[in-house]
Amino acid sequence: MKFLLKVIGVIAVVLAVLGAFLPLLPTTPFLLLASACFARSSVRAHNWLRTNPLFGKYLRDWEDGRGLPLRGKVVILLFMWGSMGYSFTRVAHIPALVALLAAIGLGVTVFLLRFVPTKR
């Protein structure tokens, strides 16, 4: 079981890194999944994830219930909507995809602003 959790954790980290650059592929849920898997399978991998210079601080704050800083939320929303805007131009001829993208973007925005605590 530990081996399976490690494999899932590694896949989740790879997807999280890809999600930082690709629209519609979320970063945070994959990092949280990786952290949960590593916490149950590998102390070393979990510590590496929590002390990672790129996303370790955000992950520690999230896991410790402190939420995200306002600046982080703003950056997330700017990058997400920038990616969404580009995606809208690429699929403008398919109204159903535009509507789906908009619904996903609005859902993520509402979740981030309403349910994720803002760290002070």
Helix (H) and strand (E) counts in the chain: 6, 2
| pTM for this predicted structure | 0.64
- Going 65 to 66 to 68 to 70, the CA torsion angle's sign is positive
pLDDT tens profile 70-91: 887 888 888 889 889 998 999 9
Determine the Cα–Cα distance for residues 34 and 16; give it in Å rounded to an integer: 9
Output the tens digit of pLDDT for each of the chain's 120 residues.
Answer: 899 999 999 999 999 888 878 766 778 788 889 999 999 999 999 999 999 998 888 888 888 888 888 887 888 888 889 889 998 999 999 999 999 999 999 998 998 899 888 987
pLDDT at 109: 93
pLDDT at 6: 95
